[in-house]
C-alpha cells in the first residue's frame, strides 16, 4: 500500500530517468543517495550525541517521498525488501545471543511478564478507547496496536548504550520476542472474530497450538539438524559458505514463520537461536554483524521514508492520550510482573522502562490487519501511524534517560546503604 | 510487505541451495564460484527445478554486487602499489587485451556472426576475471607471492581497460557506428576521471578519515565506505563510464588510508553474500537449452581463449626478460574469463545489440574456463616456484 501513495511523487522521477539506457543501474543511484545521506546524518547525530536510530529515521524522511521536495529514490519497492531483510538480520543477530540454555533461563519469567503486559495493556487500552467513544472493533484493534513493543528499536538503543550484556537486557529481549508472538496470534484471532462475528474456542486454540508447535518444532527438530549442518559448513573454512548458509537459514525460517502467520521476526529470532547452538556461533556473529549493520540502517531509513509527518497534527490528541495510556499500563504491568517474579528492584525498573514505549512495525501490522478485514474505521490506521511516529522519536530518549536515572537511583541506594 | 516477504523466501532457498552446492564444490575441490554458477543454472527459470521465476530483483542485487566486487578489488590496491607494477602490468595487459580482441573478432567473423556480435564477443574474451583468479590464488595460499602481485596488477589494469571498452562499446552502439575517435575520446575522458578522482580523493579523504578515526562506531565506517563506493559508481555512470570504474576507484582511494584493514573486514561479509547472489544470478540467466545447440562454437571459443590468453601473456611477460617458465606460469594463470564477460554481454543485451545466443554461449565458455582455471593456475604456480 505504501507503494501506491508514493507513486505520484515517484512518477516524474521515473519518467525522467527511464530515458537512460540501463534502468538497472538506478539501483546504484538509490544506494548512493541512501548511503551518503545516512552517513552524513549518522556523523551529525554522533557529534550531537543522539541515538543513531534518529539519524537513520531522519535520513529516511529526507530521502522518502512524504517530505518535500520529493522522493530522492526511485525504487521504493527495493527499500521494502531491504527493510524486511533488515528486520530479519536484526532479530537473527539478537537470536544468536540466546542459545537454548539461556532461552530456557529467561523463558518462564519472560513469558509470565509478556502475558501480563500484553493483557494489561490491552485491557487498559480497551477501557480508555471505549471511554473515548470508539466502536467495539476499533477499540479492539487499537488496543492490540498499542500493546506492541518494537523489539528492533529497543535492541538498537540498548546496543548503542552498551547495555547488551545487562541482565535486564536479556529479559527485555525475551519478553519482546514472546510479546511479538502473542500479538501476532491475537491479531489472527481478532481478525477471524471480526470477519465471522463470533469467537470460537477452536480458533483461539488453533492459533495457540500453531505457535507452540512452531517453537517446539524449531527447537526440538531444528536443534538436531541446523547446528550440525552449520558445523559442516564451518569445516570448509570458507567464510562465504558459512555466511550464505546461515543467512539462508534465517531467511528460510522467517519465511516459514510468515507463512504460518507467525511474525517474520519470530522466525529470524529462532534461526539465530539455532545457529547459536553450533560451534560456529562466534565466527558467524562476526561476519553477520556488518551485514546486519548495513541492512539495519536500511530498515530504519525505510521506516523514516514511509513516515508521513503531515499526518501528525490530525490525530495528535487521541494519539498522545493513547501513548500515555499504553506507556503507563506497560510500565506498571511489567514492573509489577517483574517484581512478582522476584526480580531485583533496578532490573524491574529497567525492564519496565525498556518495554514501556509502544509502537514499531508490528503496531502498524496490527492496525492494518483491522483495516484489511474491514473491521475498523478509516482513521485507525493513520492514527496508529501517528502514534508510531511519535513513539519512535521518543523511545530512544526514554530508554536512554530512564536507564540513566535508574542507574543513578541504584548507585544512590548503594551509596546510602554503604554509609549505614 | 507481502511482495517483500516472497522475495525473502526466494532468497532463503537461493542461499541454502547455493550453500549446499558450494559444499559439493568444496568436496570436489572446485572453486566456489563454479558451485554458485551451477546452483544458479539449477534453480533459474531455464533450469530443471525452475524455482525462481522473477529475476528482476536478482538483477538488481547483481548491480550492487558488481559495485561491491570492484570496490573490494580496489581496496586491496593502494596507489603506491599500483604505481610499482603499473608499467609492466600495463604493457602485459594491453598486449593481452589487444591480442584477444583481434582473435575474438576473427573467431566471431569466422563463424559468420554479425559485426556487433563479433565485437561483443571480442570484448567479452579480452578480460580475465579478477574475482575468480584472486579467489583461486587465495585458496591456494600463494596470494602474497610477487608473481601473484604481478598477476593481480595485470588484472586490475585489465579491469580499467575493460571499463574503457565497455564505455566505448556502449557509446558506439548508441551512436550506431564504431569510431576510433570515439575510443580515443573515451580513453581521454576516463583518464581524466581516474586522475581527477584519485587526486581529489587522496587530497580530501585523509581529512575525512581523521574525522572518522575518532568514532568507535563501525556502522558509520561501513556507511561512509559504502556511500563513497556507490556515490563514485553513480558519478562514473552519469559521466558515461561503467559504474565499475567508480567502484574500483573508491576502493583505491580508501586503500591508502589506515582504515583499509577495518573496511576490508567490514565489507567482506557483505561483499561475499552479494557476490554469491551475483554468480547465482548469472547462472540463473543462462538458457542451457541453447548450449546443446551451440556446443561446437563453445568448445572452439574456450580453446581459443585459453590458448590465446596464455600465448599473449607469455609474449608480454617475455618482453620484460623474465624466464620462460615464469612467463608460461603467469600466462596459464590468466587463461580464463569471468564477470566482465557477463557485464559486457549484459550491456550488449540491454542495448539490444547482440543476438540472443551470444550470452549463453559465452556464459558456457566462462563456466568451462572457470572449471579449467584452478588446474591451470596450479600448473602455472608450480612453474613459478621452480625458478
- The answer as to CATH 3.30.460.80 being correct for domain A50-308+317-407 is no
> Of the candidates A63, A29, A26, A36, which has an alpha carbon nearest to the alpha carbon of residue A306?
A63
CA distance A128 to chain B (A): 31
Average pLDDT over residues A241-251: 90
pLDDT at residue A21 in the model:
35
The cell numbers describing A334, all together, are 511489567
**According to the model, what pLDDT value does residue B200 have?**
81
Report the share of chain B in percent with pLDDT over 70: 88
Decide if A251 and B18 are in contact by the 8 Å CB cutoff. no
pLDDT tens-place string over residues B161-178: 877 777 677 767 766 666
Q: Do A42 and B217 touch (CB under 8 A)?
A: yes
- For chain B, say whether A297 makes contact (Cβ under 8 Å): yes
Going by C-beta distance under 8 Å and a sequence separation of 6 or more, which residues neighbour residue A404? none
**Residue that wins the pLDDT comparison between A34 and A376:** A34
pTM (2 d.p.): 0.79
Task: Identify the DSSP state of B213.
Answer: T
Residue A359, pLDDT score: 65
- Asked if A293 and B219 come within 8 Å (Cβ–Cβ), the reply is yes
Q: Do B269 and A241 touch (CB under 8 A)?
A: no
- The mean per-residue pLDDT over the stretch B235-256 comes to 79
Tell me the chain A residues in contact with residue B8 when contact means C-beta distances shorter than 8 Å: 81, 84-85, 88, 251, 254-255, 258, 264
> Which of B200, B309, B317 has its CA nearest to residue B253?
B200
For B26, nearest residue in chain A (alpha carbons): A236
Contact at CB, B219 and A297, closer than 8 angstroms: yes
Task: Give me the pLDDT at residue A24, please.
Answer: 46
Residue in chain B nearest A46 by alpha carbon: B215
Give the pLDDT score at A250.
92
CA B275 to chain CA centroid, nearest Å: 11
Mean pLDDT of B38-44: 84
Min Cα distance B372 → chain A (Å) is 21
Secondary structure (DSSP) of B271-340: HHHHHHHHHHHHHHH--HHHHHHTHHHHHHHHHHHHHHHHHHHHHHHHHTT--HHHHHHHHHHT----HH
What pLDDT shows up at residue A22? 41
Tell me the nearest-neighbour CA distance from A173 into chain B, angstroms.
22
pLDDT for A20: 35
- Angle at which helix A264-276 crosses helix A100-131, to 10 degrees, equals 160
B287 pLDDT above the threshold of 50? yes
pLDDT band at A17 (very low <50, low <70, confident <90, very high): very low
B8 Cα to chain A: minimum distance (Å): 6
Closest CA to A401 of A51, A101, A75: A51
CA distance B26 to B107: 35
Q: What is the mean pLDDT of chain A?
A: 78
C-alpha dist (Å) from residue A387 to A55, A322, A380, B279, B372: 19, 8, 10, 44, 60
Domain boundaries, chain A: 50-308+317-407
Return the residue of B nearest to A156 by Cα: B219
ipTM: 0.77
Judged against a pLDDT cut of 60, whether residue B29 lies above it is answered with yes
pLDDT score recorded for residue A6: 36
> What is the per-residue pLDDT across B195-223, written as a single tens digit (0 to 9) for each?
888 788 777 776 777 677 666 677 888 88
Residue B385, pLDDT > 70, answer no
Amino acid at each position: 500500500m505504501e507503494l501506491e501513495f508514493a507513486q505520484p511523487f515517484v512518477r516524474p522521477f521515473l519518467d525522467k530517468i527511464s530515458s537512460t539506457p540501463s534502468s538497472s543501474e538506478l539501483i546504484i543511484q538509490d544506494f548512493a543517495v541512501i548511503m551518503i545521506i545516512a552517513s552524513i546524518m549518522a556523523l551529525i547525530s554522533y557529534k550531537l550525541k543522539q541515538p543513531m536510530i534518529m539519524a537513520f529515521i531522519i535520513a529516511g524522511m529526507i530521502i522518502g517521498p512524504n517530505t518535500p521536495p520529493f522522493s530522492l529514490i526511485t525504487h521504493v519497492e527495493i527499500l521494502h525488501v531491504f527493510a524486511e531483510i533488515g528486520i530479519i538480520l536484526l532479530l537473527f543477530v539478537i537470536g544468536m545471543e540466546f542459545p537454548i540454555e539461556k532461552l530456557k533461563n529467561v523463558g518462564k519469567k519472560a513469558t509470565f511478564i509478556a502475558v501480563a503486559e500484553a493483557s494489561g495493556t490491552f485491557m487498559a487500552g480497551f477501557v480508555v478507547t471505549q471511554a473515548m467513544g470508539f466502536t467495539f472493533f476499533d477499540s479492539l484493534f487499537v488496543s492490540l496496536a498499542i500493546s506492541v513493543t518494537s523489539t528492533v528499536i529497543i535492541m538498537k538503543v540498548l546496543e548503542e548504550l552498551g547495555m547488551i550484556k545487562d541482565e535486564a537486557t536479556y529479559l527485555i529481549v525475551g519478553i519482546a520476542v514472546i510479546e511479538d508472538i502473542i500479538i501476532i496470534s491475537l491479531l489472527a484471532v481478532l481478525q477471524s472474530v471480526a470477519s465471522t462475528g463470533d469467537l470460537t474456542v477452536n480458533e483461539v486454540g488453533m492459533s495457540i497450538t500453531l505457535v507452540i508447535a512452531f517453537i517446539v518444532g524449531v527447537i526440538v527438530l531444528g536443534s538436531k539438524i541446523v547446528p550440525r549442518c552449520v558445523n559442516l559448513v564451518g569445516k570448509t573454512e570458507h567464510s562465504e559458505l558459512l555466511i550464505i548458509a546461515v543467512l539462508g537459514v534465517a531467511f528460510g525460517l522467517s519465511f516459514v514463520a510468515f507463512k504460518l502467520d507467525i511474525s517474520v521476526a519470530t522466525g529470524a529470532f529462532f534461526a539465530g537461536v539455532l545457529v547459536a547452538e553450533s560451534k560456529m556461533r562466534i565466527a558467524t556473529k562476526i561476519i553477520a554483524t556488518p551485514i546486519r549493520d548495513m541492512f539495519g540502517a536500511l530498515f530504519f531509513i525505510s521506516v523514516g521514508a514511509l513516515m508521513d509527518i503531515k499526518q501528525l497534527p490530525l490525530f495528535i490528541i487521541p494519539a498522545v492520550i493513547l501513548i500515555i495510556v499504553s506507556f503507563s499500563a506497560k510500565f506498571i504491568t511489567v514492573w509489577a510482573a517483574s517484581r512478582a517474579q522476584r526480580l531485583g528492584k533496578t532490573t524491574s525498573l529497567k525492564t519496565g522502562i525498556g518495554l514501556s514505549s509502544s509502537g514499531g512495525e508490528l503496531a502498524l501490522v496490527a492496525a492494518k490487519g483491522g483495516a484489511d478485514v474491514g473491521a475498523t474505521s478509516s482513521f485507525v490506521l493513520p492514527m496508529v501511524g501517528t502514534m508510531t511516529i511519535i513513539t519512535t522519536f521518543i523511545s530512544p530518549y526514554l530508554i536512554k534517560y530512564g536507564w540513566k536515572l535508574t542507574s543513578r537511583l541504584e548507585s544512590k541506594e548503594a551509596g546510602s546503604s554503604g554509609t549505614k | 510487505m507481502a511482495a517483500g516477504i516472497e522475495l525473502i523466501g526466494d532468497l532463503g532457498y537461493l542461499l541454502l541451495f547455493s550453500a549446499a552446492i558450494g559444499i559439493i564444490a568444496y568436496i570436489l575441490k572446485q572453486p566456489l564460484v563454479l558451485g554458485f554458477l551451477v546452483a544458479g543454472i539449477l534453480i533459474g527459470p531455464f533450469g530443471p527445478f525452475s524455482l525462481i521465476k522473477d529475476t528482476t530483483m536478482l538483477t538488481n542485487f547483481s548491480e550492487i554486487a558488481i559495485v561491491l566486487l570492484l570496490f573490494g578489488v580496489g581496496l586491496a590496491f593502494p596507489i603506491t602499489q599500483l604505481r610499482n607494477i603499473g608499467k609492466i602490468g600495463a604493457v602485459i595487459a594491453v598486449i593481452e587485451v589487444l591480442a584477444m580482441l583481434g582473435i575474438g573478432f576473427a573467431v566471431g567473423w569466422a563463424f559468420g556472426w554479425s559485426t556487433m556480435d563479433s565485437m561483443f564477443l571480442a570484448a567479452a574474451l579480452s578480460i580475465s576475471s579478477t574475482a575468480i583468479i584472486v579467489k583461486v590464488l587465495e585458496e591456494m595460499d600463494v596470494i602474497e607471492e610477487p608473481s601473484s602481485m604481478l598477476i593481480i596488477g595485470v588484472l586490475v589494469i585489465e579491469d580499467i581497460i575493460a571499463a574503457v571498452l565497455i564505455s566505448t562499446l556502449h557509446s558506439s552502439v548508441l551512436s550506431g557506428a564504431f569510431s576510433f575517435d570515439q575510443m580515443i575520446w573515451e580513453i581521454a575522458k576516463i583518464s581524466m576521471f581516474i586522475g581527477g578522482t584519485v587526486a581529489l580523493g587522496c587530497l580530501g579523504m585523509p581529512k575525512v578519515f581523521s574525522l572518522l578515526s575518532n568514532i568507535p562506531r563501525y556502522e558509520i565506517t561501513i556507511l561512509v565506505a559504502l556511500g563513497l563506493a556507490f556515490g563514485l559508481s553513480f558519478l562514473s555512470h552519469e559521466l558515461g563510464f561503467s559504474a565499475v570504474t567508480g567502484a574500483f576507484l573508491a576502493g583505491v582511494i580508501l586503500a591508502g588510508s589506515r582504515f583499509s584493514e577495518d573496511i576490508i573486514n567490514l565489507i567482506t561479509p557483505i561483499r561475499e553474500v552479494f557476490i554469491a547472489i551475483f554468480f547465482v544470478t548469472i547462472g540463473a540467466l543462462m538458457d542451457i537449452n541453447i548450449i546443446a545447440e551451440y556446443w561446437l562454437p563453445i568448445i572452439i571459443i574456450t580453446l581459443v581463449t585459453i590458448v590465446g590468453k596464455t600465448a599473449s601473456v607469455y609474449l608480454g611477460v617475455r618482453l620484460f626478460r623474465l624466464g620462460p617458465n615464469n612467463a608460461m606460469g603467469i600466462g596459464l594463470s590468466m587463461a580464463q574469463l569471468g564477470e566482465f564477460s557477463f557485464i559486457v554481454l549484459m550491456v550488449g543485451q540491454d542495448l539490444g545489440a547482440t543476438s540472443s545466443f551470444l550470452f549463453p554461449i559465452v556464459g558456457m565458455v566462462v563456466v568451462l574456463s572457470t572449471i579449467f582455471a584452478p588446474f591451470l593456475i596450479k600448473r602455472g604456480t608450480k612453474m613459478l616456484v621452480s625458478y
